C-alpha cells in the first residue's frame, strides 16, 4: 500500500524532508503509522501534540489508511 506523508515546520526539520512516499506492507491506522515514524525519526513529536489530516480532512488516530492516501502531520503552531 503506497501513501504520501507531508511534513511541516518542526517535523520538516526532524525528517530533513517536506514529504516522503511510503510503501507499507499492509493496511494500518494513523496511530500505527505514527509509531513507525517515531522509530524512523526519534525526535518525531508525540501524537497528542499533532493534528492529523488525511486527504486534506482532519482525522482521528484510529482512522484506517487506504492506498493512495496523503497524510499530513501538523505540529502545533503559535502566533498572534
What is the pLDDT, as a whole number, of residue 45? 76
Q: Is residue 48 in a domain?
A: yes
pLDDT (tens place) for every residue of the chain, 80 residues total: 999 999 988 888 889 999 999 999 888 999 999 999 999 998 887 767 788 999 999 999 999 999 999 999 888 776 65
- Integer Cα distance of 77 and 21 in angstroms: 25
Domain limits for position 62: 2-74
Q: Is residue 41 in a domain?
A: yes
Say how many domains are in the chain: 1
Q: Is residue 79 in a domain?
A: no
What is the pLDDT, as a whole number, of residue 4? 98
What is the pLDDT, as a whole number, of residue 25? 85
CATH code of the domain in which 46 resides = 3.10.20.30
C-alpha cell at 52: 492529523
Q: What is the pTM of this model?
A: 0.88
Q: What is the chain's alpha carbon radius of gyration, rounded to the nearest angstrom?
A: 12
CB atoms within 10 A of CB 65: 19
- Integer Cα distance of 57 and 39 in angstroms: 25
Amino acid at each position: 500500500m503506497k501513501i504520501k506523508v507531508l511534513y511541516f515546520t518542526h517535523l520538516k526539520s526532524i525528517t530533513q524532508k517536506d514529504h516522503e512516499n511510503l510503501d507499507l506492507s499492509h493496511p494500518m491506522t494513523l496511530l500505527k503509522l505514527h509509531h513507525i515514524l517515531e522509530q524512523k525519526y526519534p525526535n518525531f513529536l508525540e501524537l497528542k501534540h499533532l493534528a492529523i489530516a488525511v486527504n486534506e480532512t482532519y482525522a482521528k488516530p484510529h482512522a484506517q489508511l487506504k492506498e493512495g492516501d496523503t497524510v499530513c502531520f501538523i505540529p502545533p503552531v503559535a502566533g498572534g
